[in-house]
Structure 1
Amino acid sequence: MCGNLGFNPLYCEKMLTLQRYGASIDIGTSHVGINLCSLDDCKLVGHSFELNPQSVVGADILSRLKYHASQARSVLDLSKLIKNHIDGQLHEMLGALSLPLGSIGRAVIVGNSAMHHLFFDKDIRPLLKEPFVGINKHDISCTGKEIDMITLNSAEVFSPPLVGGFVGNDAIAVVVESGVMKQQRKAVLIDIGVNTEVGLYDEDKIYFASAASGPAFEEMSIADGMTAEAGAISTFRFGNESQFPNIETIGDEPVQGICGSGSISILAALLEKRLIDEFGTFVSPEESPHVQQLGDSRAFKVARGMNDDWILLTQQDIRMLQQSKAAIRAAIEVLFQEAKVMPEEVQHIFITGEFGASFSFQEAVKIGMFPTLEKAEIIQQPNGGLGGATKILCSADGEELCSSIADRIRYVNLTSNPVFDEQYAIHRVFE
């Protein structure tokens, strides 16, 4: 083939040897995940999971879109920023393996609609105006050179079709990773993040919606919140005989803050001990020594930190967590109604996201974040979008698979949706 095109066969052999690696990239609102794989056997040879540098202009999607649409873009271009970040991460991986530039022959890129449009520098105006439709949903096939990616310069780049609204092609990657299409069982799919994507698989149809759950569970808006790293409170329970808590931290290190799984665990414990009421309001300090007055507000004294200061969960934190859990639960209830599926019919629930594998499902049910799904097999794993993107990368018919999934998806718009509004109001209250 190469000889027929007029190239030196030795040059062609070298290029075929070089381009035996592939990159899968999941651009999340808060973090960017990258896998580097050998295309010969799909063996993972490099991985990174780092903060999305775009967060410097805002933790949420709309803040970034508004920034990108403003004159401020001339100061900091978010499209160039994310491309430079990914190039930097891939360059480090290649260097660690003593591989030259040009080693990556194929790449798959997924993300929600906003991250997708910012990366590929598409028109973001449809995402800034309700009902957030009119986005360019087609798949993208191009070379890395065409999108100004140095480490992907000679690679074939593929990005699957978008679903609709803020539901991007990371939803398709989650469907691939979950394996629900092979099992043919009614299933709920949840990718928890700043922008949570909720799916419901029912035979040949897949319903998807996007809930603006905010950054509370990724601990960007909690007073003493932190990412899931050493010293973060991950589990909190009151003892049976007293109110003194049993606390577990990641790595069994001294307490430094509260991560997403910890906030769910603390909420469940507060409800069990009735230290907050159904509206999320704390009891008075006179009723519990664990409640502290903070001016006109109150807070729960979780644990002593490294400097002997109290790690607190404040009343404002509770409100943020209520909003997040209500948005996720309301989205699930909307899809149940849309598909005419009862919760007891669900046989499989797949939960992913940055902390998708780390929290207690039972505690999440206690705080009303999920319905009781007694017959469902529960699978929790982190980074399902990245895992699915890697499977698409390594599949000989990955593009056709994505197209097939996209054809089955029905996007459900929650904007100005009366059922969503009703369910959100119901589930802001604790049961």
Structure 2
Amino acid sequence: MRQDCQIVFHPMNRVISVQPGTNLLAALRSANVQIESICGGKGECGKCRVIIDSGDYHEKRRTQKSHLSSEERGRGYRLACEIVVSGNMEVTVPVESRIERPQILCGLLGECDCGGMAPSVRTYPLEIRSDPVFPLSVRSIRLLNYSGPRPTISEAMYQKITGSDTRLKALLTETDGYPELIDLISEEEMKTPLGIALDLGTTTIACAIVDLESGIVLAEEATLNRQITYGEEVITRISFARNAEGLRLLQQAAAESINYVITRVTESAGVQPDDLMEICIGGNTVMTHLINAIDPGYLELADADVQRKPFIRKAQALGINLHSGAYCYCLPNVSRFVGGDAVAGVLSSGLHCGSELSLFIDLGTNGEIVLGNKDWIASISCASGPAFEGAGISSGMRAMHGAIERVAIEPDSGEAHVMVIGGARPRGICGSGLIDAVTGMFKAGILDFKGILKSHPLVRTGHAGPEYVLVPAAESATGQDIVITQPDMDYFMDSKAALCGGIGVLMKKYRLKVTDIRHIYLAGAFGAFVNLQNTVAFGIIPSFPFAEVHPVGNTSLKGAYAALVSLEKRREAQKIASMMVYIDLLVDSDFIEEYTAALSIPGKEEYFRDSSGEGDAL
């Protein structure tokens, strides 16, 4: 029998034992060390950089050379996904590879108005009548103040009723479509039933604990989705889940992440997980499949037939630590890449209620765009989100401590001035900073209208070709230059063209002009932190001169909250999912034309003639 190898991870001083032949990235996952791994371990992104201090190993592939310079290799840098453990090791996870202190948007407290409380879970006094002839026998059981179908009751609940000599209250749930009695508690011990509203994002998870009688939010917490070390994008996770073991690992990672954030939020509220009687989840199609342990492989097909009904399971069957009778309700999906989070966005923004045309934009790891009003709703999805979160960029990182979030570039000199999350030295640049930077570079003449780096004193030839030095090594936290390379610009231009082109497809399909749109709902961090004038000036989204802009926060969480406290809102969500048209850009004939036109800065004249990138107009 081969002896296990011991690996010590610095600076967290975490120790793990693994078998010889174990991939180092897999060992990091097992040790719950959160490390960047956008491609999921394929050796393509170059983000899972580690420093091997000592130990025995061999390299699995040779693609490391394209991501690491000879100088870096000499200092011990390797890609974790390409290292195979063969003996004891000591490994340092450098600052640029760590995932820590993310800037995650919650935003429910003080904003809870769903037009009336009608939760699925309610309490009712229980009246038990004994048989007058046989006093120890129960003749009838009645829920006071309840009108509806006769609830189902388990044998265990029935025995609890017959064996009780105290006044009881019944906890009733209607989540699974039929009333079910899930617990009986004495009137003296009965507490207000609580529930969890949760946004299950590809990268982050945010949740709120809610009083189901008043709708008051007691506490909010957020964390990273532990699935991220298996790949940043949903396509990568679909690929990882192709076999049963991969699906199990991803489901387990999601459940563990949910349990972790539930533990934190219950501690903040001073309650116990057993007090939680329901969880409502807003998440994209892949995420809701994975948490429910449903193989998402078929979602790779362009004509995938996606169920537009909510996934409903017992929470404990999914490994989520709530009350034993609690259900997990996932908002309904629409298509393979427009999921319950987009439905939640429409639900919480009210796009489906008015007669004026509205556009909803949610750029997370994936991008969802919804256009419509109370009469019709159409949607698209584009794979542009990661670039706007800093992913796929050589010096990019998510919005967390040490990320550059704001950039101002002097038009004459091209010199950059940066603002960093946490005020420390910068480790890299996140999406909002990147949008500022590229817009400033274009205005300063560092970029041409095709996004090509021009000859400039601050542009040099680097490892991957021309690159603009945003922050020199002496001023960074990593001791390395923070740069924007030509491959970065190519990727960013592709992403901006996909988003703007996708919006153009929706406009073209319904024969609309930018002047027809009256409301723009910007969800998530994109709406909260991004400079809108720069977003339009660079051509990421068109200029809508007559539209009112609404930053609407975490709409996935808000939609989950609405579904948690109102059965009527669940019915609305179902209606939204049923009526929403999905246009698949991968097979749409108009998309190539719109995408190609958007590969210039800013883009089509008819989309930007009313905007110079200055002032208040969007």
Same fold (TM over 0.5): yes
Structure with the larger RCO, 1 or 2 (CA within 8 Å, 6+ apart): 1
Contact between 2:497 and 2:540, CA under 8 Å: does it hold in 1? yes
- 1:209 maps to what in 2? 380
More divergent stretch after superposition (196-205 vs 213-222)? 213-222
1:64 shift after superposition: 0.7
CA distance in 1, matches of 2:191, 2:599: 54
- 1:42 maps to what in 2? 215
1:119 shift after superposition: 1.0
Pairing partner for 1:84 from 256, 279, 283: 256
Kindly provide the amino acid, as one letter, of the partner of residue 55 in structure 1: I
1:253 shift after superposition: 3.7
Aligned-residue Cα RMSD (Å) equals 2.3
User: In 2 relative to 1, CA 79–236 (structure 1 residues): closer, same or farther, beyond 3 Å?
Assistant: same
- 2:466 maps to what in 1? 298
CA distance in 1, matches of 2:262, 2:204: 15
Q: Is it true that 1:391 corresponds to 2:562 in the alignment?
A: yes
CA distance in 2, matches of 1:16, 1:328: 54
Q: Is it true that 1:114 corresponds to 2:301 in the alignment?
A: no
Pairing partner for 1:339 from 484, 491, 510: 510
Kindly provide the amino acid, as one letter, of the partner of residue 39 in structure 1: L
Structure 2, gaps ≥5 residues long = 1-124, 129-140, 143-157, 169-183, 603-618
Contact between 2:207 and 2:557, CA under 8 Å: does it hold in 1? yes
CA distance in 2, matches of 1:166, 1:248: 34
Contact between 1:165 and 1:413, CA under 8 Å: does it hold in 2? no
- 1:376 maps to what in 2? 547
Within-5 A mapping of 1:134-173: 134-173=305-344
- 1:358 maps to what in 2? 529
- 2:70 maps to what in 1? none
The 3-state SS of whatever aligns with 1:64 is helix
Q: Is it true that 1:56 corresponds to 2:205 in the alignment?
A: no
Q: Is it true that 1:20 corresponds to 2:208 in the alignment?
A: no
More divergent stretch after superposition (190-199 vs 389-398)? 389-398
Contact between 1:19 and 1:102, CA under 8 Å: does it hold in 2? no
More divergent stretch after superposition (301-310 vs 291-300)? 301-310
More divergent stretch after superposition (231-240 vs 34-43)? 231-240
Contact between 2:345 and 2:556, CA under 8 Å: does it hold in 1? yes
Contact between 2:277 and 2:325, CA under 8 Å: does it hold in 1? yes
Q: Is it true that 1:250 corresponds to 2:418 in the alignment?
A: no
More helix by share: 1
Contact between 1:23 and 1:104, CA under 8 Å: does it hold in 2? yes
User: In 2 relative to 1, CA 242–276 (structure 1 residues): closer, same or farther, beyond 3 Å?
Assistant: closer
User: In 2 relative to 1, CA 13–348 (structure 1 residues): closer, same or farther, beyond 3 Å?
Assistant: farther
1:58 shift after superposition: 1.0
Within-5 A mapping of 1:317-332: 317-332=488-503
The 3-state SS of whatever aligns with 2:528 is coil
Pairing partner for 2:430 from 242, 255, 259: 259
The 3-state SS of whatever aligns with 1:180 is coil
1:99 shift after superposition: 1.9
CA distance in 1, matches of 2:439, 2:577: 37
CA distance in 1, matches of 2:274, 2:590: 51
The 3-state SS of whatever aligns with 1:69 is coil
- 2:486 maps to what in 1? 315
Pairing partner for 2:242 from 69, 77, 102: 69
1:102-134 Cα deviation digits (max 9, x unpaired): 211122112111111111122323212233x11
CA distance in 2, matches of 1:157, 1:16: 25
User: In 2 relative to 1, CA 314–122 (structure 1 residues): closer, same or farther, beyond 3 Å?
Assistant: same
1:361 shift after superposition: 1.1
CA distance in 1, matches of 2:371, 2:482: 38
More divergent stretch after superposition (11-20 vs 173-182)? 11-20
User: In 2 relative to 1, CA 372–168 (structure 1 residues): closer, same or farther, beyond 3 Å?
Assistant: same
The 3-state SS of whatever aligns with 2:586 is coil
User: In 2 relative to 1, CA 381–140 (structure 1 residues): closer, same or farther, beyond 3 Å?
Assistant: same
1:67 shift after superposition: 0.9
1:269 shift after superposition: 0.7
1:369 shift after superposition: 0.8
User: In 2 relative to 1, CA 214–401 (structure 1 residues): closer, same or farther, beyond 3 Å?
Assistant: closer
CA distance in 2, matches of 1:195, 1:14: 47
1:226 shift after superposition: 2.3
1:383 shift after superposition: 1.8
CA distance in 2, matches of 1:336, 1:325: 17
Structure number, greater radius of gyration: 2
Moved over 6 A (4+): none
The 3-state SS of whatever aligns with 2:407 is strand
Structure 1, gaps ≥5 residues long = none
1:291-329 Cα deviation digits (max 9, x unpaired): 121146011111243356432111121112112111111
Contact between 1:79 and 1:119, CA under 8 Å: does it hold in 2? yes
CA distance in 1, matches of 2:414, 2:585: 41
More divergent stretch after superposition (61-70 vs 147-156)? 147-156
Q: Is it true that 1:129 corresponds to 2:301 in the alignment?
A: yes
Kindly provide the amino acid, as one letter, of the partner of residue 277 in structure 2: G
Contact between 1:91 and 1:151, CA under 8 Å: does it hold in 2? no
Contact between 2:353 and 2:374, CA under 8 Å: does it hold in 1? no
Contact between 1:202 and 1:339, CA under 8 Å: does it hold in 2? no
Contact between 2:192 and 2:213, CA under 8 Å: does it hold in 1? no
User: In 2 relative to 1, CA 245–98 (structure 1 residues): closer, same or farther, beyond 3 Å?
Assistant: closer
Contact between 1:104 and 1:154, CA under 8 Å: does it hold in 2? no
Identity %: 25
1:224-261 Cα deviation digits (max 9, x unpaired): 22222344222222336643334333344433321110
Contact between 2:409 and 2:437, CA under 8 Å: does it hold in 1? no
More divergent stretch after superposition (135-144 vs 161-170)? 135-144
The 3-state SS of whatever aligns with 2:335 is coil
Contact between 2:354 and 2:374, CA under 8 Å: does it hold in 1? no
Contact between 2:239 and 2:297, CA under 8 Å: does it hold in 1? no
The 3-state SS of whatever aligns with 2:260 is helix
Kindly provide the amino acid, as one letter, of the partner of residue 197 in structure 2: S
The 3-state SS of whatever aligns with 1:83 is helix
CA distance in 2, matches of 1:352, 1:182: 18
More divergent stretch after superposition (49-58 vs 263-272)? 49-58
- 2:442 maps to what in 1? 271
Contact between 2:332 and 2:574, CA under 8 Å: does it hold in 1? yes
1:15 shift after superposition: 10
1:404 shift after superposition: 2.5
Q: TM-score, normalised by structure 2?
A: 0.65
Q: Is it true that 1:194 corresponds to 2:362 in the alignment?
A: no
More divergent stretch after superposition (165-174 vs 419-428)? 419-428
1:19 shift after superposition: 5.7
CA distance in 2, matches of 1:310, 1:175: 42
CA distance in 2, matches of 1:16, 1:407: 42
